[in-house]
Amino acid sequence: MTVHNIRVGQSKRGDASDGTLAEAIGGRLSRVDGPAKITGAAKYAVEQQLEGLVHAVLVESTIASGKVRVIDAAAAEAAPGVLQVLTPDTIISLKTAADWFGTPPPDKPYCPLARDITFSGQHVAAVVAETFEQAVAAAALVKVSYDETPSIVDLSDGKAGDGIPIDAMTKEWGDASTAFASAPVRICAAYNTPREYQAPMEPHGLVARWEGDHLTVWEPSQWLDGMARTYAEWFGIPFGNVRLVSPYIGGGFGSKALALSHGAVAACAARMLRRPVKLVMTRPQTFTGYGGRAATRQTVTIGADRDGVIQSIVHRGVNETSMDGMWVEPLGSVTSIMYATPNFSSKQNVVRVNSVVPGAMRAPGENPSAFGIESAIDELAYEVGIDPLEIRLRNYAEQDPHAKKAWSTRQLREAFAAGAERFGWARRSPEPRSMRDGNQLIGWGVAAGTYPVRRAYGEAVVRILADGSVEVESSSIDMGQGTYTILAQTAAETVGVPADNVVVKLGDSRFPRAGVTGGSRLAGVMTGAVYKAATSALDQLVGLAISDPRSPFHALQANTLVVANGRIASPRGDGPDVSIAELLNSVGRDHIEAKGDTMPANSTAEDRYKNYTTIAMSVPHTEGDYSRHSWCAHFIEVRVDEDFGTVRVSRVVSALDSGRLYNPKLAESQWKGGIIMGIGQALLEEGIVDRRHGRIVNDNLADYLVPTNADIPDIEVISVGIPDLHASVLGGKGVGELAIVGIAPAIANAVFHATGKRIRDLPITLEKLI
């Protein structure tokens, strides 16, 4: 049950940037968890080896709609090694938990195994056996019969209808329809994105163990405290009785923030059998065990004058949700802020289909929203004969057009300039199909992206230990984005010790709390919390050194002291110079500890609980006088084989404004990851649904295609951000989600420039181009 201590010293240093030491905030320190992951020493959640561990395997529905008539488990129960077959009739009853907003749940039981089937792939039973192989074999023996009813498999189904209006998504100002009708230039087009999947390398799964009324869950998690709350509410036990452990996460992309029904099944099985239970989804199960990105439909109409200046935008969006859950993918989020327009209208419906409830996937909302507006403005550019970059500058929003507030910072003009310069945009030949190399048509496209600065709360403990090392603890997590590393940098710089001497402990819900790791908010929140805790620990250290009669500095009667590189001295260097360890020894202390958080002053215990276990109290990005967002501009070259319609992205230059970067090396890596995921979205990714029984036909990584190395060219990323102290304590904005936003339209725009064909349905597969 080790929590993994990450020492900076195990890691190779990155290059210093701008004269900053690699290990200070803003330095290019390499990922401190890298060696553990590469050598296999990093132990992932389901690798826990526990005494008496048994294995659960899920049985899923093979119809999309109907009722389970009967589950015949006799053969499975008689199979070797089988301990229990869980069905809706045999599984213990749970309470319904609050949703992630903390909305009080209905007072009714919750059963993670379904009697009423609303999608194909729904969990209907589970088999627990002594070994994994026994459980797999027995699960295949469970016979489920159904009374099937007609289903609506996706948005294109004739029975799907117009859906439910979501009034909270309506954004309007001016008189958009009148202005559109009188505009001299009018663009109207429909843009579609398919169901897409997060496809993390590590599948979802967990190990659950009960000790009396205490539950420990080892599970990859983007939100320990939120998931621990859900488990506690399901089982009706105090929050403090649930411990979630998740030191490493093999990719989340939004899919690992919530406790899901398979987790409930495993925890129930562990309780019923009084043995620890391991349950890991198969790869096909990850396509229905939780939701990917909802399929979306948008229409974007733009009215403009002949100079390309926008007069009106009318936007209508639809996303799919499940029959019994509600997911809203905010499709007007980029549409409403990217360009200045005097008249605007955006409305959105959701349509119920027989699917698992869709979920968060890298930049939910902004990503499909940008595909609509950034394609549409490109269409407008060709319509009025203006360069696609120039038209974006002509319609530049000098303030938030929706919130009518000043931007906290918006380096988008700088992003356009830096990206265009580096890409060589000025050399672009404007006509479609005008650039060619043999059989290949070459196209250059541009698109912008944005993501709001979501802000929430976190707390951290910083300890200065007797040996002079520093320990940081937080229940936040590192799913590859670099939390271990930047928190080590923050503590090292703030206290004044080498980063080698900092140990960061994450991923255990017993540690000081943190809200969800999602919406690109964690770095800003946690560097702030660690900065505050470390500052407070440093103040205690200096205070002790000045005031304790046993301190070598006592006689100096100094007002302050300097701590640097693990040593304490007076600012003028005229007194003693001792190590932190020597000082603590001299004053008889074995450690100094301080807690810091980013909560408002006077927060109650209840406020804190709500802040860390729900998203109800996230701070709006337009709070106060400013509207806070990250921004980016993508410049992309594609080559399209004219005969085959195959598209290859051959060059990417992206300029991004994420504010201050806590570690440029890690930020660049995340940006590139987002760009690669965007290339997959543009060209490859689509969940294909069988129209008869609603099953995902390509529910595996051979058939659901994500890019390989050979699909990805060299990617150049340029940081154009400046510190934004309205966004976070240390001036950073969001990094993780930003870069995927705008990639798909940049590619579609480049494909249009190459071929003269406008593809408005993702992905851009070859039959759409031949």
Partner 1 sequence: MRDFDYIRPASIPDAIAAAAEPGSAYLAGGTNLLDLMKGGVTSPQRIVDISRLPELNRIERLEDGGLRIGALVRNADLAHDAAFAKAYPMVAEALLSGASAQLRNAATVGGNLLQRTRCSYFYDTASACNKRVSGAGCAALGGENRLHAVLGWSDACIATHPSDFCVPLVALDAVVEIEGKQGRRHVTLAEFHLLPGETPQRENALEPGDLIVAVRLPAEAASFAANARYLKVRERTSYAFALVSAAAALVVDGGKIRAARLALGGVAAKPWRARAAEAMLLGADANEATFASAADAALADASPSGDNAFKIELARRIVVRALTSAQAGTPERLPALPASPFSNIPGARHDA
Q: At what angle do helices 743-755 and 664-683 cross, to 10 degrees?
A: 50
* Residue 698 interacts with partner 1 (CB under 8 A): yes or no: yes
Find the binding residues for partner 1 in span 38-67 (CB under 8 A): 62
Kind plus residue range of the DSSP H or E element containing 351: strand 343-352
Alpha helices, DSSP H, located in 26-164: 34-39, 74-78, 132-139
Alpha carbon dihedral 709, 711, 716, 722, in 10-degree steps, equals -90
> By the 8 A CB rule, do 262 and 204 touch?
yes
* Residue 162 interacts with partner 1 (CB under 8 A): yes or no: no
The interface region with partner 1, picked from 260-268, 394-402, 620-628, 698-706 by CB under 8 A, is 698-706
* Residue 89 interacts with partner 1 (CB under 8 A): yes or no: no
Please select the residue that binds partner 1; options are 639, 733, 753, 760, rule is CB under 8 A. 639
Q: Which residues are 674's β-sheet partners?
A: none
For residues 124 and 72, give the distance between their C-alpha atoms in angstroms, rounded to a whole number: 12
Whole-number Cα distances in Å, 587 to 71, 533, 554, 590, 664? 70, 21, 11, 9, 39
* Residue 192 interacts with partner 1 (CB under 8 A): yes or no: no
Q: Which residues contact 492 (CB under 8 A, 6 or more apart)?
A: 8, 23, 24, 470, 498, 499, 501, 502
* Residue 579 interacts with partner 1 (CB under 8 A): yes or no: no
Q: How far is the CB of 443 from partner 1 (least distance, A)?
A: 14
* Residue 766 interacts with partner 1 (CB under 8 A): yes or no: yes
> By the 8 A CB rule, do 396 and 412 touch?
yes
Whole-angstrom distance between the N-terminal and C-terminal Cα of the chain? 57
Please select the residue that binds partner 1; options are 311, 408, 440, 494, rule is CB under 8 A. 440
Please select the residue that binds partner 1; options are 398, 431, 467, 643, rule is CB under 8 A. 643
For residues 563 and 566, give the distance between their C-alpha atoms in angstroms, rounded to a whole number: 7
Backbone angles phi, psi at 250, to 5 degrees: -90, 55
Strands 66-72 and 6-7: unpaired
3-state SS string for 553-606: CHHHCCCCCEEECCEEECCCCCCCEEEHHHHHHHCCCCEEEEEEECCCCCCCHH
* Residue 650 interacts with partner 1 (CB under 8 A): yes or no: yes
For residues 531 and 493, give the distance between their C-alpha atoms in angstroms, rounded to a whole number: 9
Q: Which of 379, 668, 737, 767 is catalytic?
A: 737
For residues 2 and 325, give the distance between their C-alpha atoms in angstroms, rounded to a whole number: 37
* Residue 201 interacts with partner 1 (CB under 8 A): yes or no: no
The interface region with partner 1, picked from 260-268, 555-563, 565-573, 639-647 by CB under 8 A, is 639-647
* Residue 767 interacts with partner 1 (CB under 8 A): yes or no: yes
Q: How far is the CB of 400 from partner 1 (least distance, A)?
A: 39
The interface region with partner 1, picked from 410-418, 738-746, 748-756, 760-768 by CB under 8 A, is 760-768
Active site residue 716: no
The interface region with partner 1, picked from 321-329, 393-401, 619-627, 711-719 by CB under 8 A, is 711-719
Nearer to partner 1, 137 or 747 (CB): 137
Please select the residue that binds partner 1; options are 168, 601, 605, 702, rule is CB under 8 A. 702
Q: Which residues are 94's β-sheet partners?
A: 110
For residues 159 and 151, give the distance between their C-alpha atoms in angstroms, rounded to a whole number: 9
Whole-number Cα distances in Å, 651 to 253, 434, 720? 25, 18, 19
Find the binding residues for partner 1 in span 101-160 (CB under 8 A): 131, 133-134, 136-137, 140
Q: How far is the CB of 74 from partner 1 (least distance, A)?
A: 18
Please select the residue that binds partner 1; options are 182, 430, 690, 725, rule is CB under 8 A. 690
Please select the residue that binds partner 1; options are 646, 723, 757, 761, rule is CB under 8 A. 646
Q: How far is the CB of 642 from partner 1 (least distance, A)?
A: 9
Find the binding residues for partner 1 in span 69-88 (CB under 8 A): 80-81
* Residue 438 interacts with partner 1 (CB under 8 A): yes or no: yes
* Residue 3 interacts with partner 1 (CB under 8 A): yes or no: no
Q: How far is the CB of 768 from partner 1 (least distance, A)?
A: 9
For residues 654 and 635, give the distance between their C-alpha atoms in angstroms, rounded to a whole number: 6
Strands 502-505 and 470-473: parallel
Q: How far is the CB of 766 from partner 1 (least distance, A)?
A: 7
For residues 95 and 114, give the distance between their C-alpha atoms in angstroms, rounded to a whole number: 15
Please tell me the count of residues contacting partner 1 according to CB under 8 A.
Answer: 46
Please select the residue that binds partner 1; options are 204, 695, 726, 733, rule is CB under 8 A. 695
* Residue 485 interacts with partner 1 (CB under 8 A): yes or no: no
* Residue 241 interacts with partner 1 (CB under 8 A): yes or no: no
- Contact positions vs partner 1 (CB under 8 A): 62, 80-81, 131, 133-134, 136-137, 140, 438-440, 639, 641, 643-646, 648, 650, 683-684, 688-693, 695, 697-698, 700, 702-703, 705, 707-711, 713-714, 765-767, 770
Q: Any idea which residues carry the catalytic annotation? A: 737
